[in-house]
């Protein structure tokens, strides 16, 4: 497996201040997952791997669990998995936590889950194609795969200016949605939907705003104060724990582009992620 870009996930097992961009990303994803559940009648869910999104690992399926789904989470790192299990305990939510290192052979029966999915984790794996085949094998109703959108401005800013080394730790070829679709189809899946998610007004640099300004050589006391300190605290966990019930309203006011009735191909110019939904063989998935 490729290393994560930096071992930031260790920090976020205890520090839940993720930043505005990550909270937005997760809340938009929540809406998508709940809509997919409503369309397909999903009751059992596998998220494998549970990492991929920056910030707090392992909480992408929380909304589904709260909606009554039975959730199984898979990780190949025992320390991270233990931390995620503790976090779900804080949320008082049940889930199955599975430590498993062979992404080419998941320890589940064929069609064991209504939904098998991953978010932005493929490019960390040694053999992403094998995992995609396994997601198809274990899915009964739907497979959902999302990866960073390489076309959007923030990605290029990160790659060529802000964090040139990050490509040493990922395989960029697995952010190619065309390639992902071909692998899913070769595994016997049928593509039923594709599009974009996470289209806020800011670019996706995967860095805190204050750090972006510093990298760009922009120094301003006013901006530093705006993007740091107690006033710049953004935590999905605070929302989940009921500590900041107003957080969703504060964050989703930026969702004009996500909610705009535009073709996804137009949104793709700025969207942070692309996704595909597929069904295995002749299984119903929509």
For residue 48, the domain's CATH number is 3.40.50.150
More confident residue, 56 or 171: 56
pLDDT of residue 153: 76
- Asked if residues 23 and 239 have their Cβ atoms less than 8 Å apart, the reply is yes
Taking alpha carbons only, the member of 77, 73, 74, 75 closest to residue 65 is 73
**Band of the pLDDT at 8, cuts 50, 70, 90?**
confident
Handedness of CA 281, 119, 125, 166 (dihedral sign): positive
Once rounded to an integer, what is the mean pLDDT over residues 84-101? 98
Say if 3 falls within a structural domain.
no
**Burial of 246 from C-beta contacts in 10 A (0-12 / 13-18 / 19+):** exposed
In terms of phi and psi (left: phi > 0; alpha: psi -120 to 50; beta: otherwise), the region of 200 is: beta
State percent of the chain over pLDDT 90: 71
Give Dmax (Cα) for the chain: 59
Residue 184 has a pLDDT of 98
In a domain, 214, yes or no: no
pLDDT tens column, 116-164: 999 999 999 999 999 999 999 999 999 999 999 988 877 766 665 656 6
For the beta carbon of residue 262, count every other beta carbon within 10 angstroms. 11
Structurally, the chain folds into a number of domains equal to 1
Mean of pLDDT over the chain: 87
Residue 26 lies in a domain: yes
Please state the pTM of the whole predicted model: 0.88
Q: Are 137 and 131 in contact (CB under 8 A)?
A: no
The mean pLDDT value for 186-201 works out to 96
Q: Which of 24-33, 80-89, 220-229, 233-242 has the lowest mean pLDDT?
A: 220-229
| pLDDT at 152 (0 to 100) | 84
Structure tokens at 92: 């008082």
Residue 67: inside a domain: yes
Q: Nearest Cα to 237, choosing from 68, 62, 80? A: 62
Tell me, yes or no, whether 65 lies in a domain. yes
Cis, bond preceding 194 (omega within 30 deg of 0) = no
Chain-centroid distance, C-alpha 175 = 13
Residue 213 in any domain: the answer is: no
The mean pLDDT of 185-214, rounded to a whole number, is: 77
Q: Which domain holds residue 105?
A: 8-151+165-201+233-280
């Amino acid at each position: 497996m490729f290393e994560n870009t930096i071992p930031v996930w260790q920090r976020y097992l205890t520090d839940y201040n993720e930043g505005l961009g990550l909270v937005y990303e997760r809340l938009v994803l929540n809406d998508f997952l709940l809509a997919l559940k409503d369309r397909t009648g999903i009751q059992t869910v596998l998220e494998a791997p549970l990492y991929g999104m920056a910030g707090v690992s392992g909480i992408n399926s929380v909304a589904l669990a709260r909606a009554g789904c039975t959730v199984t989470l898979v990780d190949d790192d025992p320390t991270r998995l233990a931390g995620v299990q503790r976090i779900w305990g804080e949320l008082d939510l049940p889930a199955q936590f599975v430590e498993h290192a062979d992404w080419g052979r998941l320890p589940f029966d064929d069609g064991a889950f209504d939904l098998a999915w991953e978010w932005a984790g493929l490019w960390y794996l040694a053999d992403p194609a094998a995992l995609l085949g396994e997601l198809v094998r274990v899915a009964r109703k739907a497979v959902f795969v999302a990866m960073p959108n390489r076309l959007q401005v923030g990605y290029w800013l990160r790659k060529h200016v802000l964090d040139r080394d990050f490509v040493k730790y990922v395989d960029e070829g697995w952010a190619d949605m065309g390639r992902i679709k071909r692998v899913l189809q070769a595994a016997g899946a049928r593509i039923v939907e594709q599009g974009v998610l996470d289209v806020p007004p800011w670019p996706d640099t995967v860095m805190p705003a204050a750090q972006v300004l510093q990298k760009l050589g922009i120094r301003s006391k006013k901006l530093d104060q705006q993007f740091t300190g107690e006033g710049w605290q953004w935590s999905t966990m605070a929302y989940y724990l009921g500590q900041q019930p107003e957080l969703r309203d504060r964050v989703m006011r930026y969702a004009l582009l996500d909610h705009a009735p535009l073709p996804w191909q137009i949104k793709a110019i700025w969207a942070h992620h692309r996704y595909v939904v597929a069904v295995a063989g002749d299984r119903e998935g929509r």
